[in-house]
Amino acid sequence: MAVLELLAGHPDERFTLSEVARRCELNKATAHALLSALSERGVLLRHPDEKRYSLGPRLVAIGDAARRGYTAVDFVPAVLAGLAAETGLWARAWRVVAEHVVCVAEAGAPADVTTSAPVRLPLAPPVGTLFMAWSDAPTVEAWLARAAAVEAVSAAIEALPVICRQGFAVTLASPEWRALSQPTAVSGDGSRDARLSARRALLVAVAHRPVLVAELDDERTYRPADVSAPVFGSGGQVELALSVTLESEADLSGADLRALGARVAAAADDLTAAVSGHRPRSRAT
């Protein structure tokens, strides 16, 4: 593991036997046997002229197999149950699937939420802001281009760096946002075309409303709908978003919201650690 971590931590460098032995605190005989065995199996490559070692092609297949194994979703139920129990709120986990943000797990749902159909929202501002906060510029630009109103674009641009800095996002309550993010927005009565049309109308209405909080003022009060935080994968990408939904129409101070955001972020960090993910050092855009 020490050898693999050394080479993975310096992907643009090659190391000699002596350098590997010194950095990994191995004697040369042990290092030679180890490097030879790993090279024979394609885990490492030995440059024919320089006699230096780097990571080999076998790790590509191993990494692909690892990605198909356990993911953050496998660890979600227990974390959501703990978050719902601690906060008394409806806790959900979301992921991006084919240009939609889909609810993949939940705990502590209100008694009147009985549908089995998952909430599936179009990935267009303000939906998906948390996923975009750490995305690269082309991804963010494509997302902004799907906005239903120019107000949603400007609000998202203002909110993205703040979300990245504070580690969580706050969405304000509005009748349209609550209707859009509830299961009934997807699984209600009527034909599929009618439901899609109603959802598009809700997205347009939400896009015209100031639902994203950019900067929290501890002295102000807000009426929040959701507080969410990112779960990062091994590549530093946002793999999931954890959220808690506040069903009541009560106002909270900025300080209280910040504390709630920290609690959701802590649960998300637990999931990140469970899948050996890591938070990127800075925003990609």
Same domain, yes or no, for 140 and 267? yes
Same domain, yes or no, for 97 and 166? yes
Same domain, yes or no, for 147 and 196? yes
Q: Where on the phi/psi map is residue 40: left (φ > 0), alpha (ψ -120 to 50), or beta?
A: alpha
CA dist., res. 50 & res. 41, Å (int):
20
Same domain, yes or no, for 29 and 131? no
CA dist., res. 129 & res. 124, Å (int):
8
When comparing pLDDT for 145 and 187, which is higher? 145
User: Encoding tokens for residue 41?
Assistant: 């199996």
Same domain, yes or no, for 11 and 83? no
Query: Rounded mean pLDDT of 256-262?
Result: 97
The per-residue pLDDT for range 24-65, each reduced to its tens digit, is 999 999 999 999 999 888 889 998 888 899 998 888 877 767
Query: Rounded mean pLDDT of 79-98?
Result: 95
pTM, two decimals, is 0.75
CA dist., res. 258 & res. 58, Å (int):
45
Q: Is residue 282 part of a domain?
A: no
pLDDT given at position 190 = 57
When comparing pLDDT for 50 and 240, which is higher? 240
CB 126 within 8 A of CB 171: yes
CA 146 to chain centre: 20
The per-residue pLDDT for range 89-106, each reduced to its tens digit, is 999 999 999 899 999 999
Instruction: Domain count for the chain, please give it.
Output: 2
CA dist., res. 230 & res. 265, Å (int):
7
- CATH number for position 15: 1.10.10.10
Rounded-to-10 torsion of CA 222, 255, 83, 99: 50
CA dist., res. 169 & res. 94, Å (int):
14
Domain that holds residue 10: 2-66
User: Encoding tokens for residue 136?
Assistant: 């690269």
CA dist., res. 145 & res. 157, Å (int):
12
Q: Is residue 201 part of a domain?
A: yes
Q: Beta strand pairing status for 238-245 and 221-222?
A: unpaired
CB 42 within 8 A of CB 57: yes
Q: How confident is the model at residue 130 (pLDDT cuts 50, 70, 90)?
A: very high
Task: Give the number of residues written for the chain.
Answer: 285
Same domain, yes or no, for 116 and 219? yes
Q: How confident is the model at residue 165 (pLDDT cuts 50, 70, 90)?
A: very high
Q: Is residue 279 part of a domain?
A: no
How far are the Cα atoms of 107, 214, 225 from residue 110, in angstroms, in the given order? 9, 28, 14
Same domain, yes or no, for 75 and 31? no
Taking 70 as the threshold, does the pLDDT of residue 199 lie above it? yes
Number of Cβ atoms within 10 Å of the Cβ of 145:
10
Angle subtended at Cα 131 by Cα 79 and Cα 137, rounded to the nearest 5 degrees: 155
